[in-house]
């Protein structure tokens, strides 16, 4: 019987190694090199794919290593990646990031180190809990006269009480013995919280590759790497804008024992390490959305305690010019079995009465964010302007408001959403863009939008610095002051400006804007924007 048939019959048994309730699609066997390349299985004999929770197996490579008799060992190991370590893309991303902090200048090797670390937990579980022959798989792969490989294999020998030399090659140095002993204790101490040991494990691995100036994955390790592109085909993972870094071996390191805030550039690097193929705008959108969620607040809305309620008063003749859906077909057929539009068709007539219900009218948000050269690039560094804009925009969407976002820099240099919309992805993609040019407020957008009073009240919010003076001082065909004054009046929901000013009380343009009804909130640094966004609705700016 072909070994593939045997392995397929053992799939359910392999699932039960972890739980009676684990359900995964059966493993996918790849029979040709073309199939392997299509699925991305080019170096290892097995791999996982988190997108559809599949296990991929190379028939030819399994034969080349003579692993046909180890179905449960290999199937159980790959299932362990799905249900145990890492389990999902978020945990995988956290491990990759923590490892990168411990391996400066060797970040290209961190996915490999993470993979090896996860294998230790899974293999130890299968060996101790299920009594599988995990060491025999490594016997088939073969010994290597390599310091890192010997350190890795010596760790297994200590975990499973195997005689020295069972999996290792030659005389081992004291450093290898010491490192293996530390890691074996680490695996036993953190079986359910592996993020605690990731920094220490990567720190132990670092010298093995740094001293050899390793630029790529060692050939003998490549056959074991089954999680390298686990995130291929997936969207950027949520929930990793902050990661806890802990260490038992290096507790005095400034980087450990704290919650580390990622930058957009670091988040982008993690996505690349996971095999995620997404453009910069998609990655940046995901980053700022996650960063905003803890700060979301209710957005202002007008409350009407005497909302009108409709009451059915009877029927009246339906006119052919009225919408077809207004016809009351039941009453029409009762009136005449033969329906003649405009003669026998009737529609309901409603009156209004005062209700005790409270009617809420969300105020739309018109957000203008300065993106000139004095502002940080939100795609590489954490931009508090972008973060504050995201917090306020997403808060507005929560209460039913529509949002228009405009990113502006120099003259005629702006990016805006297609009017007032409720698509958070489109809103944040505009917010996370970047110009980095001169400074010139887009008066034409204010002029066009507020020529007349809009149907829904709007609040105009501007986030900028001293460059806000271009709102009134730029060379514009029509009077800027008249345009700004009319916009504030017709918006009906008020206007606010959050400004980083070098001399708050000595800026004549800002003083003029404040006298004309704009609420001015000077801040000392961009970090203060977070406090402003959190307390945005507590400030009395809504004009009912």
pLDDT tens digits, one per residue of 410-432: 999 999 999 999 999 999 999 99
**Domains and their CATH numbers in the chain:** 3-83 (no CATH), 91-225 (no CATH), 308-354 (no CATH), 363-538 (3.40.50.410)
Mean pLDDT over all residues of the chain?
88
- Are the C-beta atoms of residues 158 and 208 closer than 8 Å to each other? no
Higher-confidence residue: 314 or 359? 314
What gap in Å lies between CA 49 and CA 234, rounded to an integer?
A: 10
Whole-number Å distance between alpha carbons of 89 and 96: 10
| Whether the Cβ atoms of residue 76 and residue 17 lie closer than 8 Å to each other | yes
Q: Residue 121 — very low, low, confident or very high, per pLDDT cuts 50/70/90?
A: very high
Q: Check residue 329 and report its DSSP letter.
A: H
Per-residue pLDDT, 542: 34
Prediction pTM value: 0.81
Q: Where does the pLDDT of residue 298 fall: very low under 50, low under 70, confident under 90, or very high at 90 and above? A: low
Helix H or strand E encompassing 521: strand 519-523
In this model, does residue 268 exceed pLDDT 90? yes
In this structure, the number of other CB atoms found within 10 A of the CB of residue 111 comes to: 25
Over residues 326-351, the mean pLDDT reads 81
DSSP codes, 156-217: HHHHTTPPTTSS--SPPPHHHHHHHHHHHHHHHH-TT-THHHHHHHHHHHHHHHHTTT--S-
pLDDT bracket for residue 445 (50, 70, 90): very high
Instruction: Label residue 402 by pLDDT band (50, 70, 90).
Output: very high
Q: Cα–Cα distance between 158 and 224 in angstroms, integer?
A: 20
Confidence of residue 485 (pLDDT cuts 50, 70, 90): very high
Q: In Å, what is the CA distance from 191 to each residue of 14, 184, 535?
A: 20, 11, 42
57 touches 48 (CB < 8 A) = no
- 251 pLDDT more than 80: no
Select from 226, 168, 179 the least CA-distant residue to 205: 179
- Which H helix or E strand runs over 5? helix 3-9
Question: Could you give the CA distance from residue 275 to residue 369 in angstroms, rounded to a whole number?
Answer: 33
pLDDT digits over 213-247, tens only?
777 888 889 999 999 888 988 999 998 888 988 88
Helix (H) or strand (E) holding 504: none
Residue 385 has pLDDT above 50, yes or no: yes
Residue 537 has pLDDT above 60, yes or no: no
- For residue 308, what pLDDT is reported? 64
Q: Of the candidates 497, 264, 242, which has an alpha carbon nearest to the alpha carbon of residue 383? A: 264
């Amino acid at each position: 019987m072909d070994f593939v048939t045997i392995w397929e019959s053992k799939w359910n048994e392999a699932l039960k190694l972890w739980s009676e309730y684990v359900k995964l699609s059966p493993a996918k066997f790849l029979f040709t090199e073309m199939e392997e390349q299509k699925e991305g299985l080019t170096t290892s004999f097995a791999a996982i794919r988190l997108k559809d929770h599949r296990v991929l197996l190379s028939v030819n490579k399994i034969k080349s290593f003579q692993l046909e008799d180890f179905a449960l060992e290999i199937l159980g190991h790959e299932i362990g990646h799905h249900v145990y370590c890492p389990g999902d893309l978020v945990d995988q991303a956290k491990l990759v990031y923590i490892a990168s902090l411990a391996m400066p200048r060797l970040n290209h090797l961190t996915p490999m180190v993470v993979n090896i670390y996860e294998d230790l937990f899974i293999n130890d579980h299968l060996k101790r809990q299920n009594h599988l022959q995990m060491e025999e798989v490594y016997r088939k792969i073969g010994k290597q006269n390599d310091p890192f490989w010997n350190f890795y294999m010596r760790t297994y020998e200590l975990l499973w009480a195997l005689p020295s030399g069972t999996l290792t090659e030659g005389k081992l140095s004291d450093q290898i013995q010491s490192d293996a002993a530390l890691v074996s204790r680490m695996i036993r101490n953190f079986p359910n919280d592996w993020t605690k040991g990731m920094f220490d494990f990567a720190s132990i691995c670092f010298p093995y590759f740094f001293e050899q100036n390793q630029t790529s994955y060692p050939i003998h390790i490549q056959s074991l790497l089954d999680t390298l592109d686990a995130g291929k085909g997936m969207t950027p993972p949520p929930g990793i804008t902050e990661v806890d870094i802990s260490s038992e071996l290096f507790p005095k390191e400034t980087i450990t024992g704290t919650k580390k805030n990622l930058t957009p550039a670091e988040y982008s690097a993690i996505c690349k390490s996971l095999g995620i193929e997404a453009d910069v705008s998609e990655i940046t959108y995901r980053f700022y959305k996650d960063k905003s969620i803890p700060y979301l607040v209710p957005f202002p809305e007008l409350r009407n305690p005497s909302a009108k309620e409709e009451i059915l008063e009877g029927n009246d003749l339906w006119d052919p010019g009225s919408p077809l859906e207004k016809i009351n077909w039941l009453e029409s057929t009762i009136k005449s079995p033969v329906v003649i539009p405009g003669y026998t068709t009737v529609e309901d007539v409603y009156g209004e009465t005062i209700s005790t219900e409270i009617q809420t009218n969300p105020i739309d948000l018109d957000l203008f964010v300065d993106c000139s050269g004095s502002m940080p690039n939100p795609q590489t560094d954490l931009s508090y302007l972008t973060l504050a804009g995201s917090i306020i925009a997403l808060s507005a969407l929560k209460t039913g408001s529509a949002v228009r976002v405009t990113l502006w820099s120099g003259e005629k240099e702006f990016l805006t959403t297609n009017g007032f919309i409720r698509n958070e992805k489109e809103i944040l993609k505009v917010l996370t863009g970047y110009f980095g040019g001169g400074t010139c407020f887009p008066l034409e957008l204010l002029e066009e939008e507020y020529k007349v009073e809009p149907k829904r009240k709007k609040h105009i919010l501007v986030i900028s610095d001293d460059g806000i003076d271009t709102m009134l001082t730029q060379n514009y065909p029509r009077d800027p002051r008249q345009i700004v004054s009319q916009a504030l009046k017709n918006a009906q929901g008020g206007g606010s400006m959050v400004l980083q000013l070098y001399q708050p009380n000595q800026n004549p343009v800002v003083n003029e804007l404040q006298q004309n009804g704009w609420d001015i909130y000077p801040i000392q640094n961009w970090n203060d924007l977070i406090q402003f966004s959190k307390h945005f609705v507590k400030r009395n700016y809504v004009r009912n």
